[in-house]
Structures are given as structure tokens and as C-alpha cells.
Chain A
Amino acid sequence: MAISAEPATATGRDRDSTVAYVRALLADHAIHVVVIAVFALYPWLYGALVGEVTPFDDYGLLAVLLPNSRVMAEVMYLALFAISFDFISGYTGYLSFGHSMFFGAGMFLVLAARIGSLPLLGPGTSFMTLVLLAMVVTFVLTVLVGSVSFKLTGVYFAMITLGFAEIAKLLMIERFGAESAVTPQASDYALGVPFVPDLQLPLGSGSDAVVRFLGRSLSATVTSYYLLGLVALLSYFALQRIIHSPFGRVMVAIRENEARAEAIGYDTYWYKMAAFGISGAVAALAGALAAGFQNSGDPTIHFDVIEMSGDALLATIIGGMGTLAGPLYGFLFLRGLDEILGGTISLVGWIENTVPGLVETGLGVGVTIQDLLNNSVQGFAGLYVGIVFILFILYVPGGMLGTIRARVGGPLANRFPAWLRQRGRSLSELLGRDR
């Protein structure tokens, strides 16, 4: 991201140059501004189009198709997890199948502290302290796992990280049991600027705290959505910054040809370790946020390779591997479809409400359309996601964002501002104005 108007020197900086700087910055980040605006306005849009819906209402198709704010909040931390997966797998080419372990580590550090089973960290420890601690601890854990795993490459690397994650899952099941989720008693999680309680807001769908913002009152879920979205956004920019730095160029060099990167003098082992550590810490951040939002966690799910790493993989492939932003759209699709086909306000429910006669129709073999819907559509999002995944692997190898990039000739963050500028110029020429 080159910034076209250089900021003036500190002594000569006046009001005009600051305005010019901000304007240039916004112009360069046009696509980010658009995307952030869409996500920021989404709860309002959802409220206007759908409003409050319960499963007992006669809801419309829009209520089925549009994800509610709880789903959107979940997408934020899941996307952050998938972005951390893409950071290591998409940019260095090392498939981190065991990434579930780092998500789970972050999540269970928070939960274990809250149920009072960690030494030194009582249940009263503030959430932000736990989040930061989870990132640091998981960074160390990731580097330890990496120190062994990066002695291997290719398929072997994927397998050994998978092995580590399985051991971690089994140990966690030994510790916390497989029967029920870990759910702390108190659910007070305040997310914001660390160590400044005034700049923190309550996180979690269970909280009944109402936040007033610009004269509107926001529900706890919507507040959480904004909080989680903000953290995901900042983390995304931080990771993007790393990718665009000389360090990030070495990561891509490792992906493209590791032997060559080594031959020109880079100690690739330590570059891989650092990238893996950062990726693990961000995955732990996502896990800790998930713990805060749900106030519960289950080692059989959140440490599971298929459930967590598998979903991150699906989201990354569908969104676009090696695009960093792609996993967000991948998870939006994944969780959205999950909710449409498996949630309480589901497509099948809508069909039953809208055309009650149709579902009673028999198909001749003792099976009604209702049976067919219940046994092949409701709750089978996994099947359709799997089919879409296979089709993407076979026919859309770049994923959604990768394909768009190939079409417009570069990342949208570069192409969109350039396109806007070009349009602006041609518009000026048309009006006969000299710029």
C-alpha cells in the first residue's frame, strides 16, 4: 500500500497537508473503507429488513437467508482463526493441520482460569489479562511445536502437527472430560484496551448489559459483534502489515522455493518459526475471544482437528488461500449455510410455514417431502459445504478472492483505488475541468 501523498515534515505540517494526508489515506484504502462500512452497517440493515424473529413467528425468507448478529459475531472470531491459519499455510506453504490446538489453548486458558483450576490466576482475573496471557503462552507453545515440526516438510509437516494436536486433544479430554462443555459460573468478560477498565465493554451473548451509542441502544450481541469485529480488523491489518514487510516477502519466498530462499542467505528455519509463532498467537486470540463470547468450551470440539482445523481449511479454500482476507468470506459462507440449513430459523422451517400443504405430499414409497427435507436438508450443511469445497478444489483453485484478484489483475486493495482514481480523472476530463 503506497501512500501517494507523503506526510509533510513535522515543522511544516499545517492543516491542509493533514487533510490531504487523510484524504490520500482514505483513497488508498477505499476498498477497506467500503468493506468496513458494510460490516458496520450490517446490524442496522438486518434490523431494518428482518427485525426481531423467534422460531415461533411466521418469518420470511430474508430472516432465513441473512445471518443474525450472534452468527455475525461468531464469524468474526472464527474468521480471525482462519486468517491465522491462512497466514502460515497460505503464505509459507506449510499446511498447519494442528491449528485447532492453538485455538483450543487460547480458549481453555481463559476458561480454566475462570473455573479456578489454574494456579496464580483466580476466577477474578480480568479478561484482558487472560487474553494477553493466552497469546503469550500459545506463542511459546507454537514455537515449541514448530521447533520439532519444522525439521520436516510437506506431507510430513501436516501429519506431525496433526499428531501434536491429537495428543493435545486427548490430554485435554483427560483433564476436562468428554461428557460436557466447560462452562464457568460467572460470565463477565470485558473487552477493550488492556488495563484501562473505562475503555472496555462487556462481551458475550449472555450478558444483558445495554450499551448506548450515538443515541441508539445496542444489545449485548450487537456490542459483542462490533468488539469482535474491531479486534479481528486490527489483527488483520497487523498481519497484512507483516505480509507486506520484507519478513513477509521471505515467507512467500519459502512457499515458492524454499531451497532458493535458503541459497540466497535466509535462515528459513527461523523465519518459519517466527511466522508460525505469530500465527499461533493470533489463533489463541481467536480462541480466547470465543471463550469470552460463548462462556463455554468443549475439548472434544474446540481441540478437534476435523472440527476446527477442518473448518478453517474449508473457509480458507473457499475464500481463497494466500489472500488473508478470503477466509472471512469463506467463514461467512460456511456459518451462513450452517445457520440456513441447521439453525432454529431454517430454510426447512420456512418451507413448512409457507407451503404447509406441500410437505405432507407423499413421494410414493412411504416417504413424504417433509421426511426428505428433514433427513437430507435440515442439519446437512456439512454435506453441501463439502460438495462446494470439492468443486472449488477442482475448478476454482484460487478461491473466491483469489479468482477475483486474477480477474482484476491484483489485490482489490490496490486495484479498487486505482480504478476509482481513473474514473475520477475520466469524469474530470468529461466535464472539461483541468486537474
Chain B
Amino acid sequence: MNHPAIQIRGVHKHFGALHALRGVDLTIEQGEFFALLGPNGAGKSTLINILAGLIAPSAGDISVMGFDVQQRYQQARQLLGVVPQELVFDPFFNVREMLRFQAGYFGLGRENDPWVDEVLEGLGLADKANTNMRKLSGGMKRRALIAQALAHKPPVIVLDEPTAGVDVELRQMLWEFIKKLNRDGHTIILTTHYLEEAETLCSRVGMMKQGEIVALDSTANLLNKFAGKHLRLTLGDVQLPPEVQSMVRHVERGVYTFALTNMIQIEYVLSSLRAGGIKVIDMQLNEADLEDVFLSLVGNTAAEHKLASQL
């Protein structure tokens, strides 16, 4: 029987008075590249920590390829590779030693060395293999952290903010390697603040808000369902005619972004501006992106998230 890669059923988590997860149901099929998005505090990391067995749910259950993460934790963890969000490392050992230890914890020995070499190569760590973890730069430590999660070649890989504070070179290298793993059949679950990464990479998206899944669909469907096009007009400091004010999504330094649901609205906006005596200095028409979907679903709480993605 072909079990889903991840099956989450009715998961609740209470931290004292805080109801961090409010009945999460989610199924991720094998081979998917799935994005789990949400603002800080939405419950993404709590859900991942329950999946990884680092915390216990208050109610509900999660299974990895059919193995319950609590009742059959050994099998579930064998199939799972989790990249923790915090940049942690063991200062006593070098990169290769750490990867061998990590594979060893999962019961793998020297026969796994070719895979360890492939991971080192794929993540640009080959020339740092014999360097002590303490002596690595922040970006290199992040690569080593990702490599450790992959050391036992898990079929289900969870990347919790893997590119936070990471340079462009690593991001590209990482995504090339992860895309290759996905092509080879590994299931990838990604949480990220960089929504453009999720949009480019992931075939399906789940959005969380205040401990609940508020949207779950293919990336294409979400974009079609929630977003149209954006008309960016440079107008300067003007008073907009009232009939178009409700269409304004964003204003910054005289640049007004109008959210359009169809192309006819372009002429409507322009004619209203002409009638109001407002001159258009510059004009751009953009496709809406996952960020617009995110903002429309998650609302004001996403302001912080959006800011983070722009940094």
C-alpha cells in the first residue's frame, strides 16, 4: 500500500493557555515538493517539531509513510530528515565526522560514505569536510546542518527555514540539490519566509494562520484563485478619485499598486485618473504572486512576514 509521505490528523497543541495548533489536518503525498507557509507564530515549527518527535501533540496523530511518529517512532524517524531552524552544531568534530555519526545513529556504516560524499559535493562542503564545525562560517554551518539531515538519505525531507540569513550562492546551490533529490523521488517539505522560493519550487502550498491551515492547494490554483494582476502606476503626490481608491493595494513614494481582477479594469483606472486630471508618469503591469495570496489570506499579521522577506 502506498502511504502518504506525511499524514496529519486533527493535531492540537497547547502550551499552557496558548492553543498553538487548532486541529491541523494535512496530507502530503510521496514525491511532492510542498511549502508550508505562515507568519511567525502561526504554528509551522510546532507542527514540524511534533512531526520530528521533538514535542508531543496534545491531541491527534501524525504518520510518516504510514508509521505513527509516536507509536512507531523508530520507523518514522528512519524515513525522516529534518533540518532544524536554529543554527546548532557540535564543536568537537569536523564536518565529515558529524555526517558519519549522523548516518551511524540511523544504523548506517561506511557503505553510506559515497552518499555522504555526494551530499558534501552537492552542498559545496567538499573542501570543508575535514574542518572542525567551530571554524566554519555561518553559511557553511547552515550547509553542514542541512547535510546532517540528509546523511541517512531520508525519503522525506523537512527543511525548516533552510535559507534564513543565507547568501544567494548557497540558496541556488541548495535548491539545485534539493530539486535533484525531489526528482529522484524524495518528498520535500519546506517552510520559508522567502515566498518567491516557495512559488518557484513547490507544487503545492499550505498556509497556516494562528494554528490552523487556512489554504491548501496547488501553487497554480492558489495564484489563480486569489490573485489577478497588479497595475503599478507612478503618479506622484496626488488625491485619487474615490471610485478607484478601493482597488489600491499598496502605496509607496508616489507609486500606487492597483489589484486587478481582469484586464478591462486597466482602462477603468486610467480613465478615472484622466477624468481627475492626474498624469501617469510611469506604468507597469505585473502578475500577482504568492505574496499577494499570502497577504489576502493571512492579512495584517503578515506584515512582519513580508518585511522579513524583503530583508
Question: Are A and B part of the same complex?
Answer: no
| A residues in contact (CB < 8 Å) with B | none
